[in-house]
Structure 1
Amino acid sequence: MSVHCYQALLLFGYKITQKPGGSPITRVCQVVVAAFRKWHIELPLDASLLYEVDGQNSAIEGSRKLEHTSEFEFLDKAAIISSTDAKSDFSANPWRLCTVTQVEELKILVRMFPVWATTIIFSAVFAQSSVFVEQGMVLDKRVGSFDIPPASLFTFNGISVMIWIAIYDRVLIPIARKFTGREKGFSELQRMGIGLVLSIVTMVSAALVELKRLEIARTEGLIHENVAVPMSILWQIPQYCFAGAAEVFTAIGQVEFFYGQAPDAMRSLCAALALVTVTVGSYLSSIILTLVSYLTTQGGDAGWIPDNLNEGHLDRFFWLMAGISFVNLLVYIGCAMRYKYKNV
């Protein structure tokens, strides 16, 4: 009897008395362990021979069944019904045998990982808010009879978010709907991509402001003076507004993507992963700042971000972040184009 026929008979007569449960992380580990345990077993040519429970509902509480996909075939080995499984007193051991739905849960997470990773750079870029404040400290903060605290310009970020949410819902979605035929106008991946583009524009805007500021510092002979230059702090408003627009597209699209594409029983976990990028991005931002400070101060140079910004090149730092964001955008586009939406 061939291996495939034997597997077919095992599948026909195989019943389990226990359902795979546990936390989402536990289920992921079970698939990995089960797949490695059966690394030497050949996969059946017919995917229907892989193990799955009968009926409309999956064996995972609160989750619909997921259709089998051909990607990451090694993980499918976790759903192969071996002769050992059949002899185990018809009792399921999820560390040896997993359902197709459980395997597909992990496949979805693996497919989403590259998209998740590319949004870390986005979070790192927007963790540079402290640098925006430093830039504002060496600009003219007087507006009429008022002194504008640099940190108060974050108000324009919030205002931008509110305005762009209204524009997105009332203007962009109806227009996009006519071209894409989608009820939401843009897909989540398209929305995130637009936000990544806007993050580049944010850094370019900040770099242009800094270039002009340094030019004025040189003209006024203030290079070696740790003082503000005669250039209004209001020139920073565009970069805060672009930042707000980027957040509307990427941050919200990111949450929608991870929640919508997550398996039913992993939605909370995947939504949390979207928020984890903020933390990871903050750490990455600190690493970038540390490296820039170390590398640009070699040989006794003042560096790009010295205490006296008039002697530095903060513009180069903004161009660097724009360049990193551009490369990240290209990687994201590649990941988004290859991404396959889940089958239910």
Structure 2
Amino acid sequence: MDTGHQNRGGWITFPFIIASTAALSLAAGGWMYNLMVYLIQEFHIKSIDAALIFNLVNGCTSLIPVVAAIVADSFLGCYAVVWIFSVISVLGIKFLYLISSLHCLRPQPCQELESLCKSPTNLQFTALYTGIILASIGTGGVRSTITTMGADQFVKPKDQQVYFDWYFVATSLVSVIAATAMVYIEDNLSWATGFGLSVAANLFGLLIFLLGTRFYYRPKLDKSPFTDIAHVIVATIRKWNVPSSSKSEEYYCGHDAKMKKMKAEPTKSFRFLNRAALITNGNVDLEGSNADPWTTCTVSQVEELKTLIKIFPIWLSNILLGTAIGVQSSLSILQSLTMDRGITHHFKIPAASVLVFVLISTAISLTIFDRFLMPACKKLFSLTLSPLQRIGTGHILIVISMAISAVVETKRRNAAESGNLLERSMVVPMSVFWLVPQLAITGIGNAFQFPGQINLFYQEFPASLKSMSTALNHLVIAISFFMSSALMDLVRKVTNWLPDNINNGRLQNVYWMLVLIGLINFCYYLVCACLYKYHNVDKVEEKSCHE
């Protein structure tokens, strides 16, 4: 263990990281959760177009973490990336606050007839997208790096798993606040007040994070880990015609103490990559130093690339799962706009707040799973769920949620038809609470799938790529939201399922299509999970390496 890790890190850093994560998540949720409604009501954008923008923004805030992770792993480290992108986030949300405060930066309110709504000017669109872009970059840049930084504070995998679970509990609970209190303030008081609170939360999170600076463990960056990947690929291509060998002494393991403890002979999987570690004439000097890293790599570098390749099919299976969740999220908000959201005569649930049921379900499920269910199963039956089993359970639950969504939407449309509302975008006589079961099951699925996915990637990835391991989870979400936007746009163009007036649409067909896609994807995942073997370096037999 690194001596620096003995003096820094550990549970003393947990309050600072969790508090800053919670505040920054509150700031992000304050402007993101109600964005679709904001675009429809304040910028007069059509509902399906607003849903597409909403998905694109969610995709971008999940794509930026990959770039941030590369910067963190290669150049700046997680600590610097977190505070830099937190500042960018403050600037973006501040921009949105100014837009909501200054009348000249947004179009005039609609008249009684919808046809009298004025479209935003080029200046207003520019201001809007500038704020959204800056806020998205800042929010996305913090997401993966602060997660990785929190996990880096712990040495034991058990502590890391506990951190990941409580990280999701904290972010889920804060997201509940953002999706209820913040959204309610924006809908009933003013958008400026809501965005202003987001600015304050962002500044508070940044301050708390900086206060814990002296306690954080920050791994030293020796070189870019992506350079090693490039070395292996180039060396393999340059030695493509060199025959492989079964003799361990013909493979290069490096000259430092750590590399000499590696297994001498590379594994048999993806044998073509083993050529990169073969020692050929003139590539390694008498002292065992590598003369040309672009020609001869270490066994360790080859095995790290193999680990990434092996886990890629499992990573790929999560994209279609996330696509279904993205479509459900945007359509649920549109459905809620046409349903009875009243709780009392004077209070009704904001449309964007329906997603809070996903967050509540996720937080409760994670708490029960981590504190009660798993300890009980382990004590009574000596049973624990592996990360792959948790991910698979999440797949099943999400498919069930899509099926329930289809049934509920059929009932909602029948209610619209019986009320002669098919040609009008009006509220149907059906409570919004009919959406709760499907959203709650999605939340339970998230409680199984996402922590299992993050834990699997963090556990299996090489130490030099830990930030990228968590960033790839966000990349899944990014691609999923992009695909959900593309899927909805494609369905809108080739079918009549998604008109601007969803009362006259066929949303249930979209959900049944997602059920079919989910079942096919789950079968693919089962094949990948059965073929995957965990990479546990602690069980690798240590042998002397060639010098």
TM range (shorter): 0.7 to 0.9
Distance apart, 1:313 and its partner CA = 0.2
**1:123 to 2:322 alignment:** yes
2:338 paired residue number: 138
Distance in structure 2 (CA, Å) of the matches to 1:91 and 1:138: 67
Write 1 or 2 for the structure with the bigger share of helix: 2
**1:329 to 2:527 alignment:** no
Q: TM-score, normalised by structure 1?
A: 0.84
Distance apart, 1:47 and its partner CA = 4.2
SS of the equivalent of 1:57 reads: helix
Distance in structure 1 (CA, Å) of the matches to 2:360 and 2:285: 65
2:482 paired residue number: 283
Amino acid at match of 2:315: W
Alignment of structure 1 residues 178-197 onto 2, 5 Å? 181=382, 185-197=384-396
2:463 to 259, 264, 277: 264
SS of the equivalent of 1:131 reads: helix
**1:166 to 2:364 alignment:** no
Alignment of structure 1 residues 158-307 onto 2, 5 Å? 158-177=359-378, 181=382, 185-296=384-495, 303-307=496-500
Distance in structure 1 (CA, Å) of the matches to 2:380 and 2:481: 37
2:276 paired residue number: 78
Distance in structure 1 (CA, Å) of the matches to 2:380 and 2:494: 48
Alignment of structure 1 residues 309-328 onto 2, 5 Å? 309-328=502-521
Q: TM-score, normalised by structure 2?
A: 0.54
Distance apart, 1:223 and its partner CA = 2.4
Cα 1:57–1:87, aligned 2, differ >3 Å: closer, same or farther? closer
1:300 paired residue number: none
1:31 paired residue number: 232
Query: C-alpha offsets along residues 95-116 of structure 1, whole Å, 9 cap, x if unaligned?
Result: 1001111100000000011111
C-alpha contact 2:290 2:296 (8 A) present in aligned 1? no
Runs of at least 5 residues in structure 2 that lack an aligned partner in the other structure: 1-221, 538-547
**1:152 to 2:353 alignment:** yes
C-alpha contact 2:254 2:290 (8 A) present in aligned 1? no
Query: C-alpha offsets along residues 243-297 of structure 1, whole Å, 9 cap, x if unaligned?
Result: 211211111111101000111222222221122111111111111111111111x
Alignment of structure 1 residues 7-46 onto 2, 5 Å? 22-46=223-247
C-alpha contact 1:180 1:186 (8 A) present in aligned 2? no
Distance apart, 1:330 and its partner CA = 1.1
Distance in structure 1 (CA, Å) of the matches to 2:378 and 2:434: 35
C-alpha contact 1:150 1:233 (8 A) present in aligned 2? no
Distance apart, 1:79 and its partner CA = 0.6
C-alpha contact 2:333 2:352 (8 A) present in aligned 1? yes
Distance in structure 1 (CA, Å) of the matches to 2:469 and 2:350: 38
Query: C-alpha offsets along residues 57-86 of structure 1, whole Å, 9 cap, x if unaligned?
Result: 128xxxx84673211000000011111314
1:340 paired residue number: 533
Amino acid at match of 1:73: R
Distance in structure 1 (CA, Å) of the matches to 2:285 and 2:359: 62
2:267 to 63, 69, 87: 69
Distance in structure 1 (CA, Å) of the matches to 2:479 and 2:437: 26
2:304 paired residue number: 105
**What number of residue pairs does the alignment pair up?**
312
Distance in structure 2 (CA, Å) of the matches to 1:86 and 1:25: 22
C-alpha contact 2:338 2:426 (8 A) present in aligned 1? yes
Distance in structure 1 (CA, Å) of the matches to 2:297 and 2:344: 69
1:52 to 231, 244, 253: 253
Distance in structure 2 (CA, Å) of the matches to 1:65 and 1:264: 15
Cα 1:106–1:41, aligned 2, differ >3 Å: closer, same or farther? same
Amino acid at match of 1:74: F
**1:92 to 2:291 alignment:** yes
Cα 1:237–1:27, aligned 2, differ >3 Å: closer, same or farther? same
C-alpha contact 1:66 1:343 (8 A) present in aligned 2? no
C-alpha contact 1:56 1:65 (8 A) present in aligned 2? no
SS of the equivalent of 1:97 reads: coil
Rg: which structure is higher?
Answer: 1
Amino acid at match of 2:508: D
Cα 1:191–1:41, aligned 2, differ >3 Å: closer, same or farther? same
Runs of at least 5 residues in structure 1 that lack an aligned partner in the other structure: 1-20, 297-302
1:17 paired residue number: none
C-alpha contact 1:204 1:322 (8 A) present in aligned 2? yes
Which 10-residue stretch deviates more, 266-275 or 284-293? 266-275
Cα 1:91–1:158, aligned 2, differ >3 Å: closer, same or farther? closer
Distance in structure 2 (CA, Å) of the matches to 1:187 and 1:234: 34
Distance in structure 1 (CA, Å) of the matches to 2:349 and 2:414: 22
Query: C-alpha offsets along residues 156-201 of structure 1, whole Å, 9 cap, x if unaligned?
Result: 222112210122123331354368745xx21011111111111112
Distance in structure 2 (CA, Å) of the matches to 1:156 and 1:283: 23
Distance in structure 2 (CA, Å) of the matches to 1:58 and 1:39: 24
Cα 1:24–1:87, aligned 2, differ >3 Å: closer, same or farther? closer
Amino acid at match of 2:471: A
Distance in structure 2 (CA, Å) of the matches to 1:261 and 1:87: 33
